[in-house]
Amino acid sequence: MKEEITSMLKTLAEKLGTTVEYLWEVLVRQAYVSAITDIIMLVLFIIAGTLFWRFHKKCTDRGWYNGEYPEYIGVASIPMILGSVAYFIWFIVILISIHNMITGFANPEYWALQQILNQIK
């Protein structure tokens, strides 16, 4: 397996006109970039969830869901259901990327190695 990784890095470095050491350094730096990107997604997820919840509470407090405006009940429930489904899907994506966040900061060399191994498969 080590020979495959080494030969793959050599081939890629030759195509890019650089050295294997530089290429490895770039991959390790990319681990931090990937982790930061995933953390930004997590923060956006929390902000979106908070805004979604506030919007839901605002609609509930105004009486749009409790019968004061019966003509809006059917119309108002559709965006809330679609928003909930989208939020749930985004939640699954965030859960999958938590591993990349931790690995990117704690062990970037392992992250880089995993990226190379995933390309070999």
Backbone angle region of 107, left / alpha / beta, with phi > 0 → left and psi within -120 to 50 → alpha: beta
Residue 64's pLDDT is: 55
C-alpha span between 116 and 9 (Å, rounded)? 9
**3-state secondary structure at position 59:** helix
**3-state secondary structure at position 22:** helix
C-alpha span between 83 and 55 (Å, rounded)? 11
The whole-number mean pLDDT for each consecutive block of 10 residues of the chain, a chain of 121 residues, reads: 75 82 88 92 89 79 60 70 86 87 91 81 68
pTM of the model: 0.70
The percentage of the chain sitting over the pLDDT mark of 90, rounded to a whole number, equals: 17
Residue 106's pLDDT is: 93
Distances (CA, A) of 25 to 4, 100, 104: 19, 18, 14
Question: What do you get for the CA distance between the two ends of the chain, in Å?
Answer: 11
Report domain extents, the chain.
Answer: 2-120
